[in-house]
Structure 1
Amino acid sequence: MRRLVLLAPAVVLLAGCSATIVTGTAAPSPPSASTAAGAGSLPPDPQPGATEDCPYLGSEFVAESNGQHVSKVRVSADQPHPACFFYRPDGKIQLTVRVYVGDAKTATALVNKAAPLDSSNPASDPSGWKGGYLSSDDGAVYAVAKGSVAVIASTNQKQSVKARTVVKKAIAALKL
């Protein structure tokens, strides 16, 4: 579904071109998130860094909300709003929370990248925030933006309500 949607603009563009014979089997590359979003270049995905507490969420809250014991928390180098990575006992990431504060178009583009409009359900919780949520076999994501702020949670659990609970708590803890 996503590939079809990403290729739709290319098909429309090519429809106006004359026929050209192309040999080979190269697959077209999808447009970058920044191109698709119409915004400038998106910031790179945060990477786990130092082992320390998350400034928005406590490990106990995450364990209760996500239903798994938290064995370690790492934060990205992004300042003043690092992303938080919560690990389960087997060393795999169970939940990630990303906070972006900056340009409103970039905030919206990050939310649309995490929960694409064409494949996610609309989200509007907490009040005044807008975005989307979706679930898959790999887990769930809940992503919302308000003005120049975006908050995105990804969980290894299939229930998006878990990611939503975490996003709402992170938003409440933000000191903007």
Structure 2
Amino acid sequence: MRRLVLLAPAVALLAGCGPSTVPGTATPSPPSTSTATAAGTALPPDPQPGATEDCPYLDSEFVADSNGQHVSKVRVSADKPHPACFFYRPDGKVQLTVRVYVGDPKTATALVNKAAPVDTSNPASDPAGWKGGYQSTGDGAVYAVSKGGTAVIATTNQKQSVKARTVVKKAIAALKL
């Protein structure tokens, strides 16, 4: 009981320390979860499809065989030197995306955790030495791993994460790091 009595003034004092807004001023917005993590690591923006050209890590035939759908078009992001690759199916919708990040190890890990959160995904460690996660998503599956400052993330419109894992392993093998 004595602890409650001693804490009451502190709680009352702290209650007045929250953010306040002055009439006529803008309300501060919370930090975006898409560009920052709880640890404060700034994440690069999600890649966007750009030019129609071949993927430097994967050919269309391999993706078609691995994902089980014909590839009608490939677009790559403007990210250099490692663009993200977007593989489209004949109806014009994206069937598979592969993102490669090379840079800061904390950012690589944060990108993997954003794609396949530790709390909800299954642990992934393939290929050997790479760590991350995989899980089904609302519209397919994701397989994401990192090693040092490199992250490779594949999302597929198929529910089987093994398809994304196959693509990630091939992309990692093709990278010249």
Q: TM-score normalized by structure 1? A: 0.82
Structure 2 counterparts to residues 57-76 of structure 1, below 5 A:
57-76=58-77
Q: Report how far residue 31 of structure 1 moved.
A: 6.0
* Match in the other structure for 1:40: 41
- Contact 2:86–2:94 (CA<8 Å) still a contact in 1? yes
Q: 1:104 to 1:39 in 2, by over 3 A?
A: farther
Structure 2 counterparts to residues 4-19 of structure 1, below 5 A:
18=15
Q: Aligned partners of 2:64, 2:49: CA distance in 1, in Å?
A: 19
Give CA deviations for 1:46-81 in whole Å, capped at 9, x if unaligned.
Answer: 000000000000000000000000000000000000
Q: Aligned partners of 1:40, 1:136: CA distance in 2, in Å?
A: 24
Aligned residue-pair number: 156
SS in 1 for 2:61: helix
SS in 1 for 2:37: helix
- Contact 1:66–1:162 (CA<8 Å) still a contact in 2? yes
Identity of aligned residues (%): 80
- Contact 2:34–2:45 (CA<8 Å) still a contact in 1? no
| Bigger-Rg structure (1/2) | 2
SS in 2 for 1:36: coil
SS in 1 for 2:97: strand
- Contact 1:34–1:109 (CA<8 Å) still a contact in 2? no
1:85 aligned to 2:86? yes
Q: 1:135 to 1:30 in 2, by over 3 A?
A: farther
Task: Please provide the CA RMSD for this pair.
Answer: 2.2
Q: Aligned partners of 2:102, 2:153: CA distance in 1, in Å?
A: 12
Give CA deviations for 1:57-114 in whole Å, capped at 9, x if unaligned.
Answer: 0000000000000000000000000000000000000000000000000000000000
Q: Report how far residue 34 of structure 1 moved.
A: 5.1
Give CA deviations for 1:89-148 in whole Å, capped at 9, x if unaligned.
Answer: 000000000000000000000000000010100000000000000013410000000000
Query: Any unmatched runs of 5+ in structure 1?
Result: 1-16, 21-27
Letter in 2 for 1:125: D
Letter in 1 for 2:141: A
* Match in the other structure for 2:25: none
* Match in the other structure for 2:107: 106
Q: Aligned partners of 1:158, 1:30: CA distance in 2, in Å?
A: 32
Q: Aligned partners of 2:166, 2:129: CA distance in 1, in Å?
A: 16
1:95 aligned to 2:83? no
Q: TM-score normalized by structure 2? A: 0.82
Query: Any unmatched runs of 5+ in structure 2?
Result: 1-13, 19-28
Letter in 2 for 1:63: A
